[in-house]
Amino acid sequence: MSALTARGTVADENDGGAFGGLPWTVLRLHRTALLLWGAALLAAVGVLIWMHAIGDDASAGLSACAEPATDSLPSCSDVGAIHTDDTYAIGIGVVGTALSYLMFPVAAWAGAALIGRELESRTAELAWTQSVTPVRWLTAKLAVPAALLATGTSLIVLLNVWARRDDNPDLVGDWYHPDVLVSTGPAAVAYVLAGLTLGALAGLVTRKALPATGVAFAATLVLYNVLDRYRTSLWPADTVTGRAALHLPRSSQVLEHGAVTTTGKHIGNNLACVGFENATDIKDCMARSGLADFWATRHPASHFWPLQLMETGVLLAVAALATAAAFRLLRRRTP
């Protein structure tokens, strides 16, 4: 029965011209994953449209109120959006987190179901003995899900940016938080493509579904943590000196701050005199502490796109290398 099914699949793959019916075969073989992906997209679209609709009420919910009302503050009972800000923040946060971690299930699926299972059951080898070459087989296996994943993820990223409205950090988080940074730019798409290619490579290396799942998950976990650890190093940080280093805006991602002593020594993470607002108090504090100046390194909000694009570039390079390695390994293992 399995042989007949496999031959039927091969026959289908031979239909449709030069590229064959391979794309349609991939879609049919993985229709469950396709349906799940479609359902996830619909759910995310619905949530983000809802979040955009309640965005104004959520912003109003952050404003002060009084009970009873005063001349300057409205009645809290009249502010219908008093809890809408929590709903909005949770909704945006859930979608952002889902986008940030999407590469893990994609990699596991690619390693197990997309590649590993067919190699383990030998249906791929049967297809190769017909008119479907190994290169065409792997090309279709990667191209079809890559197109669907990239399109769907791009749509959700655009809707996520749209739903965030004015990017109020009290509602949607600061731009430099990992989930926020990843889910509001092309890095989200690059993460998914990296997960897909690493999963496919894991499937080709192990040739078994279950081990491929573990290897793919481990590889993407290492990649994610390395980028998370060194993200701030992907673009040169700005250095601020003087009093401005003590009062950096919230929109700045502070990496390190410190002071310079009267002897010229730089002390990192020195909090002396940070709490003073008055210039005279700051000078007195500096004199008592033996300090000559302050400094801080930070990423301002203007570094969002440089960091975003650098991370995207790294991920696409990983995806390209994993794809090249997968094809090279396939050629070595097949006639």
- 139-150 pLDDT, tens digit per residue, is 999 999 999 999
The pLDDT value given to residue 283:
77
Q: H/E element holding 209?
A: helix 209-230
The pLDDT value given to residue 270:
67
Maximal C-alpha separation, the chain: 88
257 neighbors 241 (Cβ within 8 angstroms): no
Token pair for 156 = 């959700």
Cα separation of 156 and 188, whole Å? Answer: 10
Q: What is the pTM of this model?
A: 0.86
The pLDDT value given to residue 113:
92
The pLDDT value given to residue 183:
96
The pLDDT value given to residue 49:
96
Cα separation of 297 and 34, whole Å? Answer: 45
CA distance between the termini of the chain = 27
Task: Characterize the bridge pairing of strands 266-268 and 253-261.
Answer: antiparallel
Q: Mean pLDDT of successive 10-residue segments in the chain (335 residues)?
A: 41 45 85 95 96 86 67 61 79 96 96 92 83 90 96 97 91 94 97 97 95 96 97 95 84 88 75 70 76 88 97 98 96 83
Which residues are within 8 A (CB) of 186 and not within 5 positions of it... i.e. 6 or more apart? 154, 157, 308, 309, 312
Q: Identify the burial level of 143 via C-beta atoms within 10 angstroms of its C-beta, where 0-12 means exposed, 13-18 middle and 19 or more buried.
A: middle
The pLDDT value given to residue 214:
95
289: nearest Cα among 248, 332, 260, 326: 260
Q: What is the CA radius of gyration of the chain?
A: 27
